Structure 1
Amino acid sequence: MGIVTSSSGSSATGPSSYPRSLLLAEVARATQRLADAGVPSPRFDAEELAAYVHGTERPRLHLVADAEFDARYWEAIARREAREPLQHITGRAFFRYLELQVGPGVFVPRPETESVVGWAIDAVRAMDVAEPLIVDLCTGSGAIALALAQEVPRSRVHGVELDERALQYARRNAEGSRVVLHQGDALSALPQLGGQVDLVISNPPYIPLTEWEHVAPEARDHDPQLALFSGEDGLDTIRGLERTAHRLLRPGGIVVIEHADSQGGQVPWIFTEDRGWADAADHPDLNNRPRFATARRVNR
């Protein structure tokens, strides 16, 4: 049933009517603007920005009084309309049970990676190890490392990041946690831990250079290029990480590598038996698209 909105900010459905806050009316207008701009989740983003600007939560937006409407909301909507990431505007990203600080200079964690971490957490919990040693390569904001430290309470977690700007966000997010951060190249990281690690996990750059023009503007124009692109087929970094993981893991240790859904079936072939791996396999995300590969290091 349609809703007819009057100029006074109230609305009616059929013969009965009910008051509608100015903010909710503006959220409806903002949703249409974002949809017209091609934003993938216009209603969610319009509500999230309204909650952020007005210092409340999305389910409580209807409690914001008309007199409290903040015109800065339209400034935030204009930025999102220009395809600036929602998380850059609010300065925060939610990942599993975490709220992280993010912004220009660091990769914004995606919901797809949550299923990757979920699989890794289950794998570590299944290990007969009192204090599992975990390494997160290309840690970015620290999302993966922090989620593992939080959900595997006795784990010892190290995160490695090359870029100084990204590492600054990781340091802020990891403050007070057990995660130990290192600045360095993931391909030569942590020689002191060779042969000791139980789990190596990474969400590395994996977009082919040839796909640049097809990448969503939120990522292409705002995420660090270092975190996105990796050679003509997108697999250059993953090939290097295969050797790093083999060097770091103990026999029986597990590697978990995120990749693009279009690379399903390709990444497990990097972790071959003749290079010291077993049980290489792909796994789907919550949308049933191939999202990450795993393999077990063998003693050879």
Structure 2
Amino acid sequence: MTPNRPAAMIREGIERLARAGLPTPRADARLLLAHAARLEPSGLATTRELDDVVARRYEELLVRRSSGEPLQHLTGVAWFRTIKVLVGPGVFIPRPETESVVQFALRQLVALRPSTGPEPVVVDLCTGSGVIAASIADEYPGRPRIWAVENSDEALQWARRNLEPRGVEVVHADMADALHELDGHVDLVVANPPYIPETAASQLPADVVDHDPHEALFAGADGLDALRVLAGTAARLLRTGGWLVAEHDDTQGGSAPQLLADTGFFHTIEDHPDLTGLPRFVSAVRAPRRPRDEVEE
């Protein structure tokens, strides 16, 4: 009987996943074997041989991954910045591009941090798995008061599992009507809303269209429908001088900032690239309230 040596099993996995046309076969094979063996990936290097039960689990995982099932659904976790969150069917899988959004949001929060008095108030709209709120809760050098809003019943369950242990308040609501009790008192609104134009659906990889929730992906003909709602909600929630930080599609580097400018609720509107240099998110500061804002919001 051929020994189940990790190095040989990983090599075989790489070959099979590469033949299936997957973009990261080496990383996937290693993570799948570690998951099958109930080990951290680093533990494979010190393991001489794995039993047949692990080999059978690994075989099943390779078959499912080769068919296009997301790696994160198979392992049940997604790594993001310094944390890992629980994910699965029914929730959007966090993407590396969103890490730039969190980095910028944290920088603004640190600048806002008071020397005395209450910590900043943060609202994460369209929280999904809760990965943005979780990252802020873990990385901010203090104890910010964080609310995370999600409308999907399925995604809400994942958000609660990831956020409630971190002390984040998870709210089941449509973002348009959420958290009126915080109106005018929020320091930062951050969001990764749906932003893909419906006309672009045919251009997406099958593993995205087949496994990510459509309501987490698409936002009308131009991809900006969710941002339109988000802008109004952020204007309502934010105090004067509070920040809005929102992710967008890499084709919306001009249209997303213009949308915020057209509302009249914000100033210091800027667009920012992700780590690959593509337009990725917009930031804006809440302008002083005008007498008509209450009606418009």
Q: Does the alignment reach a TM-score above 0.5?
A: yes
Q: How does 1:164-175 map to 2 (within 5 A)?
A: 164-175=153-164
1:156 aligns with 2:145: yes
CA distance in 2, matches of 1:260, 1:108: 16
Instruction: Report the counterpart of residue 190 of structure 1 in structure 2.
Output: 179
Q: Deviations over 1:104-156 (max 9, x none)?
A: 01111111111110110011100143410000000011111111122222210
Could you tell me whether the CA contact under 8 Å between 2:183 and 2:238 is conserved in 1?
A: yes
CA distance in 2, matches of 1:298, 1:220: 38
Give the CA RMSD over aligned residues: 1.7
Amino acid at match of 2:237: L
Q: Secondary structure at the match of 1:154?
A: coil
Q: Secondary structure at the match of 2:270?
A: strand
CA distance in 2, matches of 1:67, 1:101: 26
Q: Secondary structure at the match of 1:167?
A: helix
Amino acid at match of 2:165: G
Amino acid at match of 1:227: A
Comparing 145-154 with 104-113, greater Cα deviation is found at 145-154
Structure 1 runs of 4+ aligned residues shifted over 4 Å read: none
1:120 aligns with 2:108: no
1:82 aligns with 2:67: yes
TM-score normalised according to structure 1 size: 0.90
1:32 aligns with 2:15: yes
1:134 aligns with 2:122: yes
CA distance in 1, matches of 2:68, 2:238: 40
Q: How does 1:1-300 map to 2 (within 5 A)?
A: 22-68=5-51, 70=54, 71-129=56-114, 130-152=118-140, 153-272=142-261, 275-300=264-289
Amino acid at match of 1:72: R
Q: Secondary structure at the match of 1:269?
A: helix
CA distance in 1, matches of 2:137, 2:126: 16
Larger Rg: 1
Structure 1 unaligned spans of 5+: 1-6, 10-20
Could you tell me whether the CA contact under 8 Å between 2:125 and 2:189 is conserved in 1?
A: yes
CA distance in 1, matches of 2:97, 2:91: 17
CA distance in 2, matches of 1:147, 1:204: 17
Q: CA deviation at 1:176?
A: 2.4
TM-score normalised according to structure 2 size: 0.91
Q: CA deviation at 1:274?
A: 5.7
Q: CA deviation at 1:57?
A: 2.4
CA distance in 2, matches of 1:231, 1:86: 28
Q: CA deviation at 1:60?
A: 3.0
Q: Secondary structure at the match of 1:232?
A: coil
Q: CA deviation at 1:275?
A: 1.2
Could you tell me whether the CA contact under 8 Å between 2:6 and 2:50 is conserved in 1?
A: no
Structure 2 unaligned spans of 5+: 290-297
Q: Deviations over 1:64-84 (max 9, x none)?
A: 233535221010011111111
Shift in alpha-carbon separation, 1:274–1:215, aligned structure 2, 3 A = closer
Amino acid at match of 1:166: A
Amino acid at match of 2:81: R
CA distance in 1, matches of 2:30, 2:105: 32
Number of residue pairs aligned between Structure 1 and Structure 2: 283
Amino acid at match of 2:121: L
Instruction: Report the counterpart of residue 18 of structure 1 in structure 2.
Output: none
Q: CA deviation at 1:62?
A: 3.0
Identity of matched residues, % = 46
CA distance in 2, matches of 1:100, 1:138: 16
